[in-house]
Chain A
C-alpha cells in the first residue's frame, strides 16, 4: 500500500473499473491507481496471473490498462486527467480489422 506524502493540492476524479477514484493533478495514472490501493492492473497474457506496475518508467509493460477505450496503454507514462475512463486490461489486446486501405 502506497501513502501520499502530502495531500493533493488540486484533486482530479476519474473512474477505474466503474468506481470513482480521486487523484492529485500531476500524478501519473499508475501512481494514482497505486495510491488508491489498486493492486491488480491487468492479468498476464501468458499465464493469467495478476500484474501491477514494476518499473514505473515505461520499460516493463506491467502497468497496462485500457484508457478511454484504447487497450494496452502504459499507465506509468500517462498523466491522470479529469473524467478519464480506465479499465483494467484483461487478456491480450484485440486487433480490430481497422485501417481498410
Chain B
C-alpha cells in the first residue's frame, strides 16, 4: 500500500472558520493541512455581511453572548497578528453599531431583547443604549423620518471580509499550512492512530482532524461519532456602487464598506435550497434601507447575491471533540467573521492541546441529543 500524505492535523474546510483554525493551529507548531472543496461549493465565507457583531446575540444563551463579546474584544489583537503574518490590513473598524427600528413594535422588541440579554448575563453583556428618534437623528443627521428609534452598542464593528479571507489564507500558508483546493472530503475512516480522509482526490492521513466544512459538516460529523444538525438559512445582500463616506458606524442591515460600497441585508429564508436571488426580497431590503437612509435612493445597486448561513438548530456554535473517536473535533457556526478572533486565538490552541476548556462545554453537540449526555 502506498504511503499517504500525512499531517499532524487536518482541517476539513477552508472557509473563514477552517482558515482561522488552521492558522491558529499552525501558530502552535503543528504540521497542519487544509482540505478545501471546490470554488462553486456553497460558501458562507464568500457571501457574508462582514460584521464583527455582538448586539442582540445570545438571547437565552448567555454563554454565547459573552463568547461573541470576547471575540469582538479580541479582534484588534487578532487583526494585528494577521497583519504581521500576512501583510494585509483587514480594515477593522469598531466604532459601534445602530439597530434601527421602523415601528414602535420593532423598537419595543429590540429593547426587550437587549434587556433580557443584559439580565441573563448579570450585566456582563456588551453595554448598549436605547435611543429615541430625536437622539438617533442627532447622532446620524441623514437618518430618515420613518426611523422611530434605535439601539446603539459600541461593541460592534465590521471588517473587509474579502481581505479577511485573503489574509487568513496568506497567513496560514506563510505559517506552512499545506492547503489543498479541490479536495472535497467524502469519507472519513478512523484508523489505528488517526483518520483516513478520502475523496475524488484520493486519500490522506491525519493524526487528528477538525471538521469546519460549514453546511457540509452535517454530513461528515456522524462518520466520527459527532453530530451537527443544521437548518436552512438563506440570506440575500444588495451592494451599491461606491460612494463617499456617509455612515461611519455600522448596522446589521446597512453598512458602508471601507472602500465605499454600501451593503444592504439581511434577509432570511428557511424553506429553500435554491441559490438564486429573489427580486421580491431585494425590493424589501432596498425599501427598508431607503426608509432608514433616504439618501441611498439615488445610489445604483451593482450586485446582489445570496448565500446559505451555517445555522445550527439553536443558532449557536458547535465546538466538540468526539467521545467515540478522540482526536476528531468539530467547529461549526454562523458568524465566522465575529468569531474568527476566538477561533484563531482560543479554539485552535485548545484543539492543539487536545481538549476544549470547560467554558466551551455548553457548545458541545450533545445538547441536541439528551441520550448523549450519559
The answer on a CB contact under 8 Å between B298 and A96 is yes
B interface footprint on A60-78 (CB within 8 Å = 1, 0 otherwise): 0100100000001000000
Check: A49 CB closer than 8 A to any chain B CB: no
Do A101 and B243 contact each other (CB < 8 Å), given the known contacts A61-B302, A92-B260?
no
Instruction: List residues 225-251 of chain B with CB under 8 A from any CB of chain A.
Output: 241-244, 246
Residue pair A61, B295 in contact (C-beta under 8 Å) = no
A46 contacts B294, CB within 8 Å?
no
Residues of B within 8 A of A45 (CB): 242, 259-260
Q: Is the CB of B295 within 8 A of A96?
A: yes
| Distance from A67 Cβ to chain B, minimum over Cβ atoms (Å) | 13
Cβ-Cβ contact count across A and B, 8 Å cutoff: 52
A53 smallest CB distance to B (angstroms): 16
Query: Which residue of chain A has the shortest Cβ distance to B293 in the bound complex?
Result: A95
Q: Is the CB of B144 within 8 A of A94?
A: no
Report A-chain residues with C-beta under 8 Å of the C-beta of B246: 95
- Write out the residue numbers on chain A whose beta carbons fall within 8 Å of the beta carbon of B297: 98-99
The interface size of chain B toward A, counting residues with CB under 8 Å, comes to: 21
Q: Assess the A61–B241 pair: CB atoms within 8 A.
A: yes
| A98 and chain B: residue at smallest CB distance | B295
CB of A101 within 8 A of CB of B145, answer: yes
The contact of A97 among B259, B295, B299, B302, by CB within 8 Å, is: B295
Q: Assess whether A99 is in contact with B243, with CB atoms less than 8 Å apart.
A: no
- A5 to B300 Cα, complex, angstroms: 34
Complex Cα distance A45/B141, Å?
A: 25
Residue among B145, B146, B241 facing the most chain A CB atoms (10 A cut-off): B241
B290 interface contact, C-beta 8 A: yes
Shortest beta-carbon distance, A89 to chain B, in Å?
11
Known: A61-B302, A99-B298, A101-B144. A46 touches B259 (CB 8 A): yes
- B160-204: contact bitstring with A at CB < 8 Å (1 yes, 0 no)? 000000000000000000000000000000000000000000000
Which residues on the B side are within 8 Å of A96 (C-beta)? Answer: 295, 298
Asked if B142 is an interface residue, CB under 8 A from chain A, the answer is yes
Structural contact, A94 and B244, CB atoms closer than 8 A: yes
Q: Write the B250-272 contact mask toward A (1 if CB under 8 angstroms, else 0).
A: 00000000011000000000000
For residue B150, give the distance in angstroms from its CB to the closest CB of chain A. Answer: 18
- Name B296-310 residues within 8 Å CB distance of A: 296-300, 302
| Bound CA–CA A95/B241 (angstroms) | 11
Ranked nearest first, the 9 interchain pairs of A and B with the lowest CB-CB distance are A99-B294, A95-B295, A92-B260, A45-B242, A92-B242, A93-B243, A99-B297, A94-B244, A95-B246
11 cross-chain CB contacts under 8 A: A46-B242, A46-B259, A61-B302, A92-B242, A93-B241, A95-B243, A95-B244, A95-B295, A95-B299, A99-B290, A99-B295
